Amino acid sequence: MSKGTIRNLLRRDTRADRVVPPTGFTAQLTLFVSGAMAFLAVFALALSLASGRLADRWASELAGAATLRINAPTDQRAAQTEAALNVLRQTPGVASARALTDEEQASLLSPWFGSDLPLDALPIPQLIEIIEGEPGLDAAGLRLRLGAEVPGAVLDDHTRWREPLVDAAQSLRRLGWISVLLIGGATAAMITLAANASLAANAQIIEVLRQVGARDRFIAGAFVRRFTFRALFGAAVGTLLGMSGVLLLPEASDAGGFLTGLGFQGIGWLFPALIPLLGAAVAFLATWSAAQRKLKELS
Amino acid sequence: MGTGVIELDNISYNYGGGELLSDVSLQLQPGSFHFLTGPSGAGKTTLLKLCYGALLPTSGRLMAFGEDIATTDRDQMALLRRRIGVVHQDCRFLDHMTLAENVALPLMVSGRGENGTQENLTELLGWVGLGGRLEAHPPELSGGERQRAALARAVILSPDVVLADEPTGNVDWEMSQRLLHLLVELNRMGKTVLIATHDLSLIRAAKSQVQARVLRIAQRRVQLAGADL
């Protein structure tokens, strides 16, 4: 189909559009389906974009830090900690390194052991927080050096935490996009059904139009315009309602976790504006293809 | 093939497992006037439908304006139909549109007539006596008004051929004479006219106004009718 054909099909011609009766259940069906699907598409899109942001955040936050654990007898812990800090100060890619205080370590353990944990009476390893800088930490090289100089040091570069979390977030993002595609497919199927029903219900009108010399393009155009503009309107309303729903969701917070981060940010707010246009494009193609089939069948 | 605007050459048409028309040959010469008669179910409507390409023959060759219908695509067929005006017995209007819109439908589908359309339309509807009914909807019209409106729609593109299927089937004698007069007038303007009817009194009435050829469908074939009409 050429650009010119598409332009001609979509060019509003109020007189030509009048040949298709304006009422019928297909009108309500198209409006409802496109509205409902656009509403769902907004949430699927929000889920996908939020998952993408989460994956990026988890990846960058966990990738930018590492933890060094000093498992040493109590009398050697301070010396090994100092040795480890020395090694870290000389290691390229380490922006900063510091040993956690007793209070910080107690705070980390408090969810499991309570707030009055006697840290000095327990063989708790000393933790060192490492913040990565440029050009990035060579974890394998650092492990070798620590193994030689600080025998009780165990480096955790968060890879085993980071990968499953990032994988999970990326899977959510994929599911979001698959949902958008399924919504598009379901919309196309429903509009095809509605267009077929409308074409069948108006078979007599098509016969009259043919008899007075109408080309298939004219007849198809009247139906295509009707369904495309209905879908555009329905999807616009559905998108507005969906975006209102997203706006009403609680704002992102650490306490709320992932669910409160569901929504759009920055340029992401522009993406839902594409939903009505995509809905109209889906309706255009579905109706055009249904009309071509039906007109061939009726000839 | 000859010089007819519509030519049927040994056309057969099967319907419902049987042969409805068999080896029909017919030429409609430009400017000629034909009646097609025969009993109900003989195939008059089918023959008309073959003439304007709504049906394709089972065998034989059908030419319209020199084009072989069998090799004509749907777009070309649409252009050919603009040269053939058809009046159906049941008129076939779009009930949600006004009379003026229905009559102007051929102009609309052919992309013609923004300029002067309204004037031409009013003039045409005046010619068929419906000048004051432009905004009426088809269900509001009487049988005679519907037939006259159908005739107006059939001729609005100034076609070369006018085919009428029982145009006087649902109207009284006076109205049938009026419709006949309009069709004769069209013929005098140079249009080829073919009227399918079982109303022999209409044919007799026409004989005093126009030189008409009367064809009869009998036993699946088209024959020239005798003087008994």
Q: What is residue A21's predicted lDDT score, i.e. its pLDDT?
A: 82
**What value does the mean pLDDT take over residues B142-147?**
88
Which residues pair with residue B163 across a beta bridge? B86, B194
Q: Give yes or no for A299 touching B (CB within 8 A).
A: yes
A14 to chain B, any CB pair closer than 8 A? The answer is no
Q: Would you place residue B4 in the very low, low, confident or very high pLDDT band (cuts 50, 70, 90)?
A: confident
Task: Report CB contact under 8 Å: B82, A213.
Answer: yes
Best to test chain A binding among B83, B102, B108, B114 (most A CBs inside 10 Å)? B108
Distance from C-alpha of B7 to C-alpha of A58, rounded to nearest angstrom: 80
Dist. CA A273–CA A266, nearest whole Å: 13
Look at residue B49 and tell me whether its pLDDT is greater than 80. Answer: yes
B95 belongs to a structural domain:
no
Residues of chain A with Cβ-Cβ distance to B93 below 8 Å are 208
Residue A132's nearest CA partner among A162, A165, A166 is A162
Contact status of A210 with chain B (Cβ, < 8 Å): yes
CA neighbor of A6 nearest in space, from A198, A221, A279, A187: A221
Per-residue pLDDT at A152? 85
Smallest Cβ–Cβ distance between A21 and the set B93, B96, B108 belongs to B96
Give the residue ranges of DSSP H helices in chain B: 44-51, 74-81, 99-103, 105-109, 117-127, 143-155, 173-188, 200-207
- Interchain contact, B96 vs A18, CB within 8 Å: yes
Contact A235, A35 (CB under 8 A): yes
How confident is the model at residue B187, as a pLDDT?
94
CA distance B198 to chain A (A): 23
Measured CA to CA in angstroms, residue A122 lies from A50, A101, A103, A125 at distances of 42, 15, 14, 9
Looking at the domain assignment, is residue B138 inside a domain? no
Could you tell me which chain A residue has the CA closest to the CA of B76? A215
Considering only the beta carbons, identify the residue of A204, A205, A299 that sits closest to B74: A299
Burial of B28 (C-beta count, 10 Å sphere; 0-12/13-18/19+): buried
Residue B182 lies in a domain: no
Residues 74-93 of B with CB under 8 A from A: 74-75, 78-79, 81-82, 86, 92-93
Q: In this predicted structure, what is the pLDDT of residue B113?
A: 61
Q: Which amino acid is at A175?
A: L
ipTM metric: 0.86
Which residue of chain B has the CA closest to A205? B94
Domain holding B202, by residue range, is 1-83+163-171+192-229
- Please name the amino acid found at residue B201: S
Could you tell me if residue B103 is inside a domain?
Answer: no
Q: For A19, which of B82, B94, B157 is closest by C-beta distance?
A: B94
Q: How far is A212 from chain B (nearest CA, A)?
A: 5
In a domain, B109, yes or no: no
Residue B153 CB-density burial (10 A; 0-12 exposed, 13-18 middle, 19+ buried): buried
- Report the residue from B96, B101, B109 with minimal CB separation from A212: B109
Average pLDDT over residues B37-57: 91
Report the number of distinct structural domains present in chain B: 1
How many other C-beta atoms are found inside a 10 Å radius of the C-beta of residue B228? 5
Quickly list DSSP for A22-66.
S-SHHHHHHHHHHHHHHHHHHHHHHHHHHHHHHHHHHHHHHHTEE
What is the predicted pLDDT for the residue at B165?
93
Cβ contact A209–B109 (<8 Å): yes
Q: Which of residues 18-37 of A touch B (CB under 8 A)?
A: 18-19, 21-22
CB contact under 8 A, B52 and A211: yes
Residue B84 to residue B79: CA distance in whole angstroms: 9
Task: Note whether A213 contacts B108, CB cutoff 8 Å.
Answer: no
Inter-chain contact A215–B101, Cβ cutoff 8 Å?
A: no
pLDDT mean values, one per 10 residues, chain A (299 residues): 69 74 81 94 90 80 83 87 92 91 85 76 86 84 89 84 81 89 92 88 90 91 91 96 89 59 82 92 92 86
Given its phi and psi angles, is residue A114 left (phi above 0), alpha (psi -120 to 50 degrees) or beta?
A: left
Say whether residue A291 is in contact with chain B using an 8 A CB cutoff.
no
Top pLDDT among A64 and B194 is at: B194
Contact map slice: B 42-71 vs A, CB within 8 A: 52, 54
DSSP at B5: S
When the pLDDT of each residue in chain B is averaged and rounded to a whole number, the result is 88
Task: Show the CA angle centred on residue B119, arms to residues B136 and B86, nearest 5°.
Answer: 65
Q: What is the CATH number of the domain that holds B227?
A: 3.40.50.300
B94, B101, B157 member nearest A205 (Cβ)? B94
A63 contacts: CB under 8 Å, gap ≥ 6: A132, A158, A162
- Nearest residue to A229 (alpha-carbon basis) of A27, A38, A39: A27
Distance CA A268, CA A47 (A): 12
* Residue B210 in domain: yes
Give this prediction's pTM: 0.74
Q: What are phi and psi of B228, to 5 degrees?
A: -65, -15
CA-based end-to-end distance of chain A: 21
Least confident of A78-82, B102-106, B175-179: B175-179
Amino acid at A116: D
